[in-house]
Amino acid sequence: MVLIGVIATAIGIPLALIIPWFPAEGSIQAGNIRTLYHVLIIATVPIFVLVETVVLFSVWKFRMRPGQEEMDGPPIHGNTRLEVVWTAVPAILIVSLCTYAYTVLRANEANKQGAMTVNVTTRQFAFQFGYPQANGKQILSPVLYLPVHQPIVFKLRSYDVVHSFFVPSFSEKIDAVPGIVTTLRVTPSALGTYPVECTELCGAGHSLMRSTARVVSPAAFEQWLRAQPTNAPPPIGSPPPNVNEAVPGYSPGGSSSPGGSSGASSSAGASSTSAAAGQAVFTGDAGCSGCHTLAAASATGTVGPNLDIRLRADCAGAASKPIRGATLQQCIRTAITKPYAYLPSGYSAGIMPSNFAQRLTSDQIEALVNFLAGAAK
Ligand code: CUA
């Protein structure tokens, strides 16, 4: 049994360690968590295979044979030494592993010298990141920019319900709870673009509540920060070109295909209401492709109306025109900002987020209108 256990352990540990359990590693904390996880695997695989070996061996060796139906084993009155051993060994193991895990989590949450504060404000269904400035004002952004190797303290707040702020590549997550400020510490350790997700079921648009974390060099971060207006509404514009870029080794459920939109989007400025910018909003910030089908955006969602089939046809309908406007552009604008003013047949109110007028800038909405008017068949 011991020999079988040793062989199974020798096979099991490398097998368990070879599995890529974690997405691309983006923070010092993620490295600590990964090491902790690997230690737990190395400690638990031998126990698991040894227990299973004993169980399977006993089932085979001491199984009931024909004619033994009425028989019983010899009475057992306990074995003190055995009981002490099987209580003490697991107790020592569990206490050691818990102590180690506690130490790692404490270190991850420890206050780091020179940490920079980033305010994370959540609401249905968007994140906003605030960078407090020396003059008491704050720079706001819908995308999380972080300088690499800089310890960060996130202060989380919620305007409405419980949300959660999760960056898988940082291996750190915490709830944003209305009425209190929660704190999370992360030190980004690798340049890259990582998904930010809400992981608390927070309403109909929960699955669309996503953002992007961009870890950049300190110089690039300073440059980005200086380019932002203070106390302005979120300077969303068109999202960064690689906002939908897949992180190596990480697949968030395969919702949107990379390359559908990202490459073509321009970097804001005069073209922020262009159809190309609208496509980036469609697949990016607004999250339309999660629910709608639209060939022009490689979107295949089935929650809401199929825009290839329903958009132009419904807007041309006699029932829609008095409510949503006579032109296709007016109709699309109303459908985005007041989705329940007119409900396409077969769809009910309460599914499509009704706060796009607040969530998106007017430029983003115009860009969406231009994009959809051109894409509607
Ligand atoms: Cu916010 Cu889910």
Token duo for residue 192: 């890259």
**Residues 235, 212, 198, 104, CA torsion sign:** negative
pLDDT reported for residue 357: 83
CA distance 331 to 322: 10
198 lines ligand 1 (CB under 6 A): yes
pLDDT reported for residue 273: 86
120 lines ligand 1 (CB under 6 A): no
Residue environment code for 252-274, b if the CB has 16+ CB neighbours within 10 A, otherwise e: eeebbeeebbbeebeeeeeebbb
Please state whether the peptide bond connecting residue 154 to the residue before it is cis, i.e. omega within 30 degrees of 0. no
Q: Kindly give the confidence (pLDDT) of every residue in the chain, 377 residues in length, as a single tens digit, with 9 standing for 90 and above.
A: 888 888 988 998 999 889 888 899 999 999 999 999 999 999 988 888 888 888 998 899 888 888 888 888 788 888 899 899 989 999 999 999 999 999 999 999 988 888 999 999 888 888 999 998 887 778 888 899 999 999 999 999 888 889 999 999 999 999 998 888 899 999 999 999 999 999 999 988 899 999 999 999 999 999 999 888 765 665 333 333 433 344 455 444 333 333 333 333 334 344 788 888 888 888 877 878 778 889 888 887 777 888 998 898 889 888 888 889 889 999 999 999 888 888 888 777 767 777 788 778 888 899 999 999 988 87
176 lines ligand 1 (CB under 6 A): no
pLDDT reported for residue 319: 87
Ligand 1, atom 1, lies closest to the CA of 163
| Span from the CA of 249 to the centroid of ligand 1 (angstroms) | 24
What's the number of CA atoms in the CB half-sphere (13 Å) around residue 288? 32
Which SS3 state, helix, strand or coil, does residue 132 take?
Answer: strand
CA distance 108 to 47: 28
CA distance 289 to 245: 15
Token duo for residue 11: 């096979």
Burial of 151 (0-12, 13-18, 19+ CB in 10 A): middle
247 — phi, psi (to 5°)?
A: -80, 135
Atom of ligand 1 nearest to the CA of 202: 2
123 lines ligand 1 (CB under 6 A): no
Of 171, 203, 231, 177, the C-alpha closest to 36 is 171
The pTM of the full predicted model, rounded to 2 decimals, is 0.57
pLDDT reported for residue 161: 85
CA distance 296 to 165: 31
pLDDT reported for residue 249: 54
Give strand pairing partners of 210: 197
310 lines ligand 1 (CB under 6 A): no
For residues 45 and 13, is the Cβ–Cβ distance under 8 A?
Answer: yes
pLDDT reported for residue 254: 38
Give strand pairing partners of 176: 163
CA distance 31 to 74: 53
| Span from the CA of 205 to the centroid of ligand 1 (angstroms) | 7
206 lines ligand 1 (CB under 6 A): yes
156 lines ligand 1 (CB under 6 A): no
